[in-house]
Structure 1
Amino acid sequence: MPIRQVVTDRVAVITLSHPPVNALSIDGGVVAALGETVAAAQADPTVSALVIVGDGRMFCGGADIMDFDRDLAALDTVRDVLNRIEASAKPVVASIHGVALGGGLELALACHYRLAHRDSRLGLPEVSLGLLPGSGGTQRLPRLIDPSTAIELMLSGRRITAAQALEVGLIDAVTEQAPIDAALDFIRTHGPLAPRPIGRLTADGVAAVVEEQRATLRQGLNPAPAHILTCVAAAAGPLDEGLALEARLFAELAGSEASRGLRHAFLGQRLAGRIPGLPAATSAAKIGAAAVIGGGLMGAGIALAVLDADLPVVVVEPNEAARGRAGAKIRDTLARSVQKGRLTEAAAEARLGRLTLAGDISSVADADLIIEAVFEDMDAKRQVFTALDAIARPGAILASNTSTLDLDAVAACTSRPGDVVGLHFFSPANIMKLVEIVRGAKTDPAVLAAALGFVKQIGKVGVVASVCDGFIGNRIFEEYLRQAYFLLEDGALPRQIDNAMEAWGMAMGPLRTMDMAGQDIGWNIRKRRAVEQPDRPYSRIPDLICEMGRFGQKTGSGYYQYPDGRTPVDDPVINQLILDHSAELGIQRRDISDLEIVERCLLAMINEGARIVSEGVAYRPSDVDIIYLNGYGFPAERGGPMFQGDQMGLQTVLTKIRFYQDQRHGWAWEPAALLVDLAESDRRLGALNA
């Protein structure tokens, strides 16, 4: 049963028991059972008070997100139950442990008294899903605590501690007891309790706070923050009117592209770690000590990510000067974290105490996990793995940070290819959330499970990919870039392309991205692929820029000039180079609309993503999306390229791809067989996520 009840000393203790997070599920019967149990307790003459607690490790993690994709009118059942709890003639106490998030906190807000264990965390994170608290949160929270604090909690979605909740007046007491014992003691100590109505607000005070917040609100793809402010403004009026407005705006948001994209991302991130045939996460080997080979920016960033997880790490860099720079980079980064209040001096010192800088590769002999982070060159990587094969202890995991190279060729340099896995971090590795976990042809399932566990252990998002040139992320990015380069030939200029993609929501346009990453990196990849894939040529424009010695920000110029080292300034020299190149090719340049820029870049990503899924390089379409949301600046509210394909409709996607196939470079627009199959059978990419 999802709800249990026991009567103790005239107190009905009602327990939510719906693992793993005690979600207020409608389809799971939790809400209906809770309503029936509360009603029965209210009608029972032997009961003088009610207590609501959660079973297991938490009070309540919130609503069941899957319910939001169904008939939203069903959510009225949740609201009705919470309204009945608030209107109860008998006092109702919520005793929180673990977390009370979203609908879980709204349940607690409907109760008359709230207690929380000292280790609890409370919050209303709905904004991160493109939603607002839809079961009374926007009305009850600002009536209970200072409205400006209530607004900040809802707009940020952050979790607060029990001590912080007590300080702002959200709860009545912090406890150290088990939830039931704490509630019974509270009732005995403070009894007899009486129902406590929610507070009232003055219209003038709320209006001023709301307008102040609205003036600083950043316009973005997510309309939820503005709707939250609208609801809070209504909290100065009658509660029933505010609740009605909240329900209406919640339904509006639930149907928006932004919320659907954010919910898709939330669920997709959960799916990403579920790989068929892997050992259970609880049985995967734990990493106790790690090592990084290579002291460049990537190696130092990976070491910082490991140190941030309170793990010891050895960084091996044979070059003494480079080793010194790696140590300085790590120390400086930790020092900045201390200056910004993100880290205490003691914690920074403890992390530095777990760092070892070494010049000899033999220093990694005892590590559980060794991550190679040397230059993206096959010979260099083979040299490292040949050495590691002789040095690393039996059972150690040998990981490569390669972004495009053949992991199986790297593994073949060892006598233990089953221990080899790819861990492709994204720069800066200590900040970027994504790690592509590359499964080689001979990677042992237990090693893959341990790699997934390690990525989670250091607070990153791991997505598994099979071996191919570029894996998932960079392989799709190549087609994105290919279209950006061809758009330059056809009539666009760098600023228009970057502005169009950034206005659509990308964190940074493709040409600015390459300037930041280093144009020479892409140049080296194109040189290799010109030999390996002669039938898929690129535009010559980026090579011409590299031949001028313009490698981006690090040289002060690329597609743009960077007089201050960071800010891109249009360069007439590059614009003229692009015009001259089009003329050399005999291309009659034309006006390119921003819509065409976005459409061509996005369709190229969708098409290549579908090809990757059909080849089994990605396990499911949502894995492609999670990679792009966490590693490539794709706007979370857009859900990812595969989600966008479904939003456009695959038949429309296929029609547009075939249109561009009839223009220049038809070979680059060959439709993925999976897209053709799904479009012709009127199915969606999302159906393959199950």
Structure 2
Amino acid sequence: MSRLAACTIHDGVAVVTIDNPPVNALGARLRGDLFAVLSEVVASPEVAAIVLTGSGRNFVAGADISEIGRPPVEPTVTSIIELIEDCERPTIAAINGNALGGGLELAMACHYRVATPEARLGLPEVRLGLLPGAGGTQRLPRLVGAAAALDMIVTGSEIGARKASGIGLVDALSEGDLMREAIALAQARAAENGSHVAVRYREDKIAAAKRDLAGFEAHRDALLSKRRGLRAPQLAALSVGNALTLPFDDALAAERGFFLELASSDESKALRHLFFAEREAAKLDGVTKEAARAVRRVGIVGAGTMGRGIAMAFLNAGMPVALAETDEEALAKAIEAISASYAALVRRGSLSEEEASARRGNLSGSVSYDMFADCDLVIEAVFEDMALKKTIFAALAAATPAGTILATNTSWLDVNEIAAATDRPQDVLGLHFFSPAHVMKLLEIVRGERTSPAALATALKLARRIGKVPVVVGVGYGFVGNRMLAARNAELERLMLEGAMPTQIDRAFRDFGWPMGPFEMTDLAGLDVGWRNRRAHGKTAPVADALCEMGRFGQKTGRGFHLYPDGSRKGVPDPEVEKLIRTMAEEAGIAPRAVSFAEILERTHYPMVNAGAQVVEEGIARRAADIDVVWVNGYGFPAWKGGPMFWARKEGLSRIERFLARQFEATGSEHFRPSPMLPLLAASD
């Protein structure tokens, strides 16, 4: 069995290379090999200095997450760090790519760090409901200062090597040959014959933070105010604070205790579940990366809000986009809106003018489909009308060569029926983006009956290229997300008539962990969107329909379920809406009563879970974990609850099933009919 760490000697410098592709994760076997190699190197009198690096495109991208929560296996990352830190000869971390989590903790154990400009550094453990567990909360403040360490650790953000150099995390940038420069630095430091101070003993930036303890605490409180209810950021901030108030070893022991507490928490288990679920969602049996076709240019039909957002998603990834509209005026308006969006990003400092100009330069437009002749992918993004979509797809099939993938952004309609309008259904699939399309991470890839493996492989690869989280789903009304959304929202009108006002329902959702309540979200999106969809499908929602008939379309009209005075983005209760609801309840013979938050959540969330079980039963979702990925990345379900299906297991599947059965018996409402798959969800992944 080959070793995952090896050593070569270059003029007295030991170069220790970590080789555990693809990301050099610090699993047990790698740790054992690395500890053995480093022990030999440290003991060798022929070695004047040590350079530690990683093979491929990563230094070390973190720990082996599958080991978290299990009994520790020696040697641990801490054991390796102590071995490096105790070395009296200079040690240099040559960072050739990602140095994240345990990888950055390993690099900070070295005396010096040199990195390529493309390298990324960070301690993202809070994203998994954890905090750095091998000294990251103690060594990082000693290198970059307490405030900068708080920013990185509490937010879990990564930074580029240039920024890392500017704040003191990286000692030198390598613009040429990284290993040659790292070896030269090692030789120069060895020739100095002086002592090399380990990071743990550097106290100047700690002392500076102590002199402005009030400033540190204010910065900490501001960061945590945006993360209320989450345990990992709280403990991470506390641990960084310990660097200012406790001896190093005491603070290190406290950090380890915090890590073990978090590793066993529901919060971390949920986030780790999502970590693995996202990776599994992007894999398909019989679909390989090698089957993916090259996509060099993308066409988009429809330049409304959705089409513009999809265009920006590709432009932001550096891809040329051809945008089509029915008339020149609509096309010009769309291109102007996209340019204005980039101008706003430049004004905010989020984008350079050069980059904005490059993105605008990649955008072209036409009122003819002839420009799609050299596109490898064309996405239709017009409104939800089956006849219109079939007409467009027939025209696209005629205007593009065989092999061009034709995708629909429909959120409801039958992709198979759309594909049947072409002479090549194997090239047709759904790419359901979520609004705003250039911001939201989820991409539902809808697999038609005849969609080819090559088309699916291309979509999966492209999704990652534009920064989306892909989930492959089957054809069915509303696919996964909107099918479940309809079930979740089915009781909202009834709850209002029974006495729960929109403000109360929104608050129940926010208290659960949603970023917005259902009525706040409807007001943001526009009530007219749902109204138009209901009328197209012969459905009604009496309260919402009445508000639309009154011209109350949400934030854009200043009135929806809530009032938005003076253009405010934050709604306030509207007595007119409450009066309307009470009048409608009285006409329906419904006596108002007090409705608890618990009942609101049960009557909305349990049917949503039930619909999730149905889409697994029907094969529209391949596994329950895919549903969790959809809802966290596309609909705002709180990630720290793991998604609706993961949460349902903790809530109790039998409890949910009993509740649904009682409600179905009492009301006969189909969204309460328990799915036979519901009690089997625990085994569906």
So what's the TM-score if we normalise by structure 1?
Answer: 0.92
- Give 2:30's aligned residue: 30
Shift of 1:185: 1.8
Q: Within 2, Cα distance between the matches of 1:209 and 1:82?
A: 31
Shift of 1:197: 2.6
- Give 2:608's aligned residue: 605
SS in 1 for 2:677: helix
Shift of 1:25: 1.1
1:650 to 626, 650, 653: 653
Matched to 1:212, the amino acid is: A
Map residues 127-276 of structure 1 onto 2, 5 A cutoff: 127-192=126-191, 194-198=195-199, 199-200=202-203, 201-202=206-207, 204-205=210-211, 207-216=213-222, 217-218=224-225, 219-236=227-244, 237-276=246-285
Deviations 1:48-90 (A, max 9, x none): 433321122211001111111323x558822222123212244
Conserved 8 A contact 1:480-1:605: yes
Shift of 1:249: 0.9
Deviations 1:506-543 (A, max 9, x none): 12111222222222332333345447xxxxxx753333
When residues 658 and 207 of structure 1 are mapped into structure 2, their CA distance, relative to the original with a 3 A threshold, is farther
Deviations 1:492-511 (A, max 9, x none): 11110011101221121112
Q: Within 2, Cα distance between the matches of 1:100 and 1:139?
A: 17
Does residue 570 of the first structure (1) align with residue 573 of the second (2)?
yes
SS in 2 for 1:570: coil
Conserved 8 A contact 1:465-1:472: yes
Map residues 341-490 of structure 1 onto 2, 5 A cutoff: 341-490=349-498
Deviations 1:330-350 (A, max 9, x none): 111111111112222222222
When residues 38 and 343 of structure 1 are mapped into structure 2, their CA distance, relative to the original with a 3 A threshold, is same
Matched to 1:61, the amino acid is: A
Q: Within 2, Cα distance between the matches of 1:7 and 1:181?
A: 13
Map residues 538-557 of structure 1 onto 2, 5 A cutoff: 540-557=542-559
Moved more, 395-404 or 40-49: 40-49
When residues 16 and 649 of structure 1 are mapped into structure 2, their CA distance, relative to the original with a 3 A threshold, is farther
Conserved 8 A contact 1:53-1:179: no
When residues 419 and 3 of structure 1 are mapped into structure 2, their CA distance, relative to the original with a 3 A threshold, is same
Q: Within 2, Cα distance between the matches of 1:544 and 1:321?
A: 34
Matched to 1:238, the amino acid is: P
Q: Within 2, Cα distance between the matches of 1:476 and 1:539?
A: 17
1:329 to 328, 332, 337: 337
1:15 to 14, 17, 38: 17
Moved more, 101-110 or 619-628: 619-628
When residues 75 and 497 of structure 1 are mapped into structure 2, their CA distance, relative to the original with a 3 A threshold, is farther
Q: Within 2, Cα distance between the matches of 1:487 and 1:224?
A: 35
- Give 2:305's aligned residue: 297
When residues 164 and 247 of structure 1 are mapped into structure 2, their CA distance, relative to the original with a 3 A threshold, is same
When residues 271 and 205 of structure 1 are mapped into structure 2, their CA distance, relative to the original with a 3 A threshold, is farther
Deviations 1:319-372 (A, max 9, x none): 333223212211111111111122222222222222222122333233211111
Conserved 8 A contact 1:145-1:168: yes
Q: Which runs of 5+ in 2 are unaligned?
A: none
So what's the TM-score if we normalise by structure 2?
Answer: 0.93
When residues 91 and 567 of structure 1 are mapped into structure 2, their CA distance, relative to the original with a 3 A threshold, is closer
Q: CA RMSD in A?
A: 2.2
When residues 399 and 9 of structure 1 are mapped into structure 2, their CA distance, relative to the original with a 3 A threshold, is same
When residues 487 and 241 of structure 1 are mapped into structure 2, their CA distance, relative to the original with a 3 A threshold, is same
Matched to 1:380, the amino acid is: L
Matched to 1:213, the amino acid is: H
When residues 345 and 197 of structure 1 are mapped into structure 2, their CA distance, relative to the original with a 3 A threshold, is closer
1:668 to 656, 667, 671: 671
Q: Which runs of 5+ in 1 are unaligned?
A: 532-537, 679-683
Conserved 8 A contact 1:11-1:50: yes
When residues 173 and 455 of structure 1 are mapped into structure 2, their CA distance, relative to the original with a 3 A threshold, is same
Shift of 1:159: 2.3
1:515 to 509, 520, 523: 523
1:311 to 319, 324, 333: 319
Q: Within 2, Cα distance between the matches of 1:688 and 1:2?
A: 35
Matched to 2:550, the amino acid is: M
SS in 1 for 2:393: helix
When residues 150 and 596 of structure 1 are mapped into structure 2, their CA distance, relative to the original with a 3 A threshold, is same
Shift of 1:375: 1.4
Conserved 8 A contact 2:13-2:187: no
Matched to 1:256, the amino acid is: S
Conserved 8 A contact 1:287-1:368: yes
Q: Within 1, Cα distance between the matches of 2:523 and 2:198?
A: 59
Q: Within 1, Cα distance between the matches of 2:87 and 2:631?
A: 48
Matched to 1:36, the amino acid is: A
Q: Within 2, Cα distance between the matches of 1:207 and 1:652?
A: 49
Shift of 1:662: 4.2
Shift of 1:666: 4.5
Conserved 8 A contact 2:90-2:186: no
Q: Within 1, Cα distance between the matches of 2:458 and 2:536?
A: 32
